[in-house]
Structure formats: C-alpha cells, structure tokens
Structure 1
Amino acid sequence: MKPVRAAGVLSSMLMARRFQQEQLRFEKDLTKLREKLDNVQKVNDAKFILMRHRGITERQAYDLIRKQAMAKRATTTEIAQSIINAESILSNMGDT
C-alpha cells in the first residue's frame, strides 16, 4: 500500500466541499422554482374560478386579483388562495 499524500487528501476535501455547496445551491434553486410554480398554479386556479363565476376574461380575472392585492397590500398569491378557499367553502355549503 502506498502512503496517503496530504496534497491528495486536501484536493479531495476541497472538491467534496465545492460539490456540497453546489448541491445546496441547486436544492435552494429547486425549492424556489417549486414555490413559484405552486404560486402560479394558485393564481391560475383563482382566475378560472373568477372567470366561471363572473363570466369575465382571463385578463380581467387577473386584473381583478392584482387590483385586490394592491388594495389589501397583499400578494397576488395570497388573494388567489383566499379566492380558492372561499370557493371551496361555498361549494361545500351547497352540499349540506
């Protein structure tokens, strides 16, 4: 067996550290993208709820969500979630 050289161990440790940092960055980026996709889906769901209930276009529905978000100083995602929750509650009330 050959003895382990310090330079070889050090370079391996540096490579492993760099790989770990890259992995953490990729995981963080992936989490952000998943959250963004989830938020976009919520806004789309809310738009379709508004389109169905009010008979408006997709653009008008988005403008309505945006206007409410600005008036309430909230994000469009928060308003969209409120619309989704309200529609869920109202549809469940009709079942009882």
Structure 2
Amino acid sequence: MCRPAEGGDEILPSAVAGAFEVVSEGYEDATPLFVTPERMGDEVFPYRMKLKPIKIFKEPVAFKPLIPALSFITNKKMWTGHIRVAMREIPEEDYQLILSKG
C-alpha cells in the first residue's frame, strides 16, 4: 500500500508512523479534518473514533521489510489485501515487533 506525497502524486512507500489505542465508540462527523486531495472530490471520511497515542515514531518505519515476520500477513506476496481495511486487529507479537522498530 502506498500513499500520495503531500501536494503531489508521487507514490511513497508504506510506513508505520505510530501506534494508537481506540478510546471511544465509532461515530459519524462530517466536519472536515484536513484538506482533501482534489482527486478525492468532497470526501470527508465521516466514520471516526477517538484515539490515544501510545507511541509516535521519530521516523516512520518502512512496512515492507516487516512483512516476513508478521504473522497476520499470511500471503506474503499479496500482502496489501491484509491491510486494506480501516481497522484491523493484529496479534500481540506482531504489535510488539512493530513497536520495537519505532
């Protein structure tokens, strides 16, 4: 999974920037949170929940090198399908591995 670079269409590699704890139930709110890229139209991402930061990494951790060691990714060649969901619970050992890299 890649994300567009700020202000452009450059594709950046996937990375983990931190870990957060969900501290509320899901709710809907159409208040804009950020400037939506032009190609996304009027999208406001209205389905939200409150988060508490657990650890914010000084530098984002590249995701691809972690794939061989992550147990929740069972298909290592088609790994993007395992993370293309809004929220995903992962095993404690995978969580600890990611935290240890940040």
TM-score (norm 2): 0.27
**Larger strand fraction of residues:** 2
For normalisation by structure 1, the TM-score amounts to 0.28
Larger radius of gyration: 1
Query: Counting helix residues as a fraction of each chain, which structure ranks higher?
Result: 1
